[in-house]
Amino acid sequence: MAPARWWRDGVLYQIYPRSFGDANGDGIGDLRGITARLDHLEWLGIDGIWLNPTFPSPNDDWGYDVSDYNDVHPELGTLEDLDELIAEAGRRGIRVLLDLVPNHTSDRHAWFQDALSGREARYRDYYVWADPAPGGGPPNNWLSNFSGSAWTLHEPTGQYYLNQFLPSQPDLNWWNEDLREAIDDVLGFWFDRGVAGFRIDVCHAIVKDSELRDDPPAGPDEHPEIVKRGLKQVYSMNRPELHDVLRRWRALAARRDGDEPVLVGETYVLDLEQLVPFYGLGEDELHLAFNFLFFHCDLDPAQMRPIVEGMEKMLPEGAWPVWTGSNHDGKRLATRWGGGDPALTRAALMMLLCLRGTPFLYYGDEIGLPDTPLDPSKALDPVTHRTGDPEDNRDVCRTPMQWSAEPGGGFTENGPHPPTPWLPFGDLEAHNVAAQREDPGSVLHLVRDLIALRRERQDLRGGAYETLPAPEGAWVWRRGEGTAIALNLSDAEVHVEGVEGTVLIGTDRARDGEAVAGPLRLAPGEGVVTGRA
Ligand code: GLC
Ligand code: CA
Distance CA 476, CA 305 (A): 10
Q: Which sign, positive or negative, has the C-alpha torsion 292, 306, 507, 336?
A: positive
Is the per-residue pLDDT at 2 higher than 70?
no
Contacts of 430 (CB under 8 A, 6+ apart): none
Count of C-beta atoms within a 10 Å radius of residue 458: 16
Report the separation in Å between the CA atom of 146 and the middle of ligand 1, taken as the mean of its atom positions.
10
Strands 95-100 and 129-130, how do they pair? Answer: unpaired
Over residues 216-230, the pLDDT tens digits come to 999 999 999 899 999
Nearest CA to 20 out of 351, 382, 318, 401 is that of 401
| H or E segment and range at residue 495 | strand 494-496
Closest-approaching ligand to the CA atom of 20: 2
pLDDT, residue 292, reads: 97
Helix axes 242-254, 177-192, angle to 10 degrees: 30
Contact present, 466 and 483 (Cβ < 8 Å)? no
Vertex 395: Cα angle to 392 and 396 (nearest 5): 85
Using the 8-state DSSP alphabet, how is residue 279 labeled?
G
Nearest CA to 153 out of 161, 145, 163, 144 is that of 161
Contacts of 231 (CB under 8 A, 6+ apart): 141, 142, 143, 215, 216, 217, 218
Over residues 192-215, the pLDDT tens digits come to 999 999 999 999 999 999 999 999
Pocket test for ligand 1, best of 16, 50, 61 (most atoms within 8 A of CB): 61
Over residues 33-46, the pLDDT tens digits come to 999 999 999 999 99
Closest-approaching ligand to the CA atom of 36: 2
pLDDT, residue 469, reads: 97
Is the per-residue pLDDT at 489 higher than 80?
yes
Dihedral (C-alpha) 131, 137, 139, 141: value to the nearest 10 degrees?
Answer: 170
Distance CA 374, CA 41 (A): 28
What's the whole-number mean pLDDT along residues 66-78? 98
Residue nearest to atom 12 of ligand 1 (CA): 64
pLDDT, residue 66, reads: 99
Q: Is the CB of 61 under 6 A from ligand 1?
A: yes
Q: Does the annotation mark 260 as catalytic?
A: yes
Q: Considering 30, 47, 81, 201, which one is annotated as catalytic? A: 201
What's the whole-number mean pLDDT along residues 360-382? 98
pLDDT, residue 51, reads: 99
Nearest CA to 18 out of 421, 493, 452, 533 is that of 421
HEC states along 431-494? CCHHHHHCCCCCHHHHHHHHHHHHHHCHHHHHCCEEEECCCCCEEEEEECCCEEEEEECCCCCE
What's the whole-number mean pLDDT along residues 421-446? 98
pTM: 0.98
Is the per-residue pLDDT at 360 higher than 70?
yes
Burial, 444: exposed, middle or buried (Cβ in 10 Å; 0-12, 13-18, 19+)?
Answer: buried
Residue nearest to atom 2 of ligand 1 (CA): 201
Provide DSSP, 337-363: TTTT-HHHHHHHHHHHHHSSSEEEEET
Number of H helices, E strands in the chain: 17, 19
| H or E segment and range at residue 113 | helix 110-115
- Amino acid sitting at position 456: E
Contact present, 140 and 212 (Cβ < 8 Å)? yes
In the chain, pLDDT over 70 holds for what percent of residues? 99
C-alpha 497, offset from chain centre: 34
- Amino acid sitting at position 195: V
Over residues 304-326, the pLDDT tens digits come to 999 999 999 999 999 999 999 99
**SS3 of residue 208 by DSSP:** coil
pLDDT, residue 4, reads: 66
- The larger pLDDT score, comparing residue 3 to residue 142, is at 142
Per-residue confidence band for 416, with pLDDT thresholds at 50, 70 and 90: confident
- Amino acid sitting at position 404: S
Burial, 524: exposed, middle or buried (Cβ in 10 Å; 0-12, 13-18, 19+)?
Answer: middle
pLDDT, residue 414, reads: 86
Closest atom of ligand 1 relative to the 164 alpha carbon: 6
Distance CA 148, CA 275 (A): 26
Distance CA 323, CA 8 (A): 12
Rg (CA), the chain: 23
Contact present, 400 and 367 (Cβ < 8 Å)? no
pLDDT, residue 533, reads: 84
Distance CA 519, CA 409 (A): 45
Nearest CA to 470 out of 489, 447, 483 is that of 489
Burial, 373: exposed, middle or buried (Cβ in 10 Å; 0-12, 13-18, 19+)?
Answer: exposed
Closest atom of ligand 1 relative to the 329 alpha carbon: 9
Nearest CA to 265 out of 292, 289, 284 is that of 289
What's the whole-number mean pLDDT along residues 443-455? 98
Per-residue confidence band for 268, with pLDDT thresholds at 50, 70 and 90: very high
What's the whole-number mean pLDDT along residues 294-309? 98
What's the whole-number mean pLDDT along residues 453-461? 97
Closest-approaching ligand to the CA atom of 412: 2
pLDDT, residue 3, reads: 55
What's the whole-number mean pLDDT along residues 244-252? 98
Q: Is the CB of 165 under 6 A from ligand 1?
A: yes
pLDDT, residue 296, reads: 96
Count of C-beta atoms within a 10 Å radius of residue 509: 16
Using the 8-state DSSP alphabet, how is residue 405 labeled?
S
Is the per-residue pLDDT at 1 higher than 60?
no
What's the whole-number mean pLDDT along residues 456-465? 97
Mean pLDDT of the chain: 97
Q: Is the CB of 64 under 6 A from ligand 1?
A: yes
What's the whole-number mean pLDDT along residues 132-154? 97
pLDDT, residue 503, reads: 98
Is the per-residue pLDDT at 432 higher than 80?
yes
| H or E segment and range at residue 496 | strand 494-496
Closest atom of ligand 1 relative to the 104 alpha carbon: 12
Is the per-residue pLDDT at 354 higher than 60?
yes
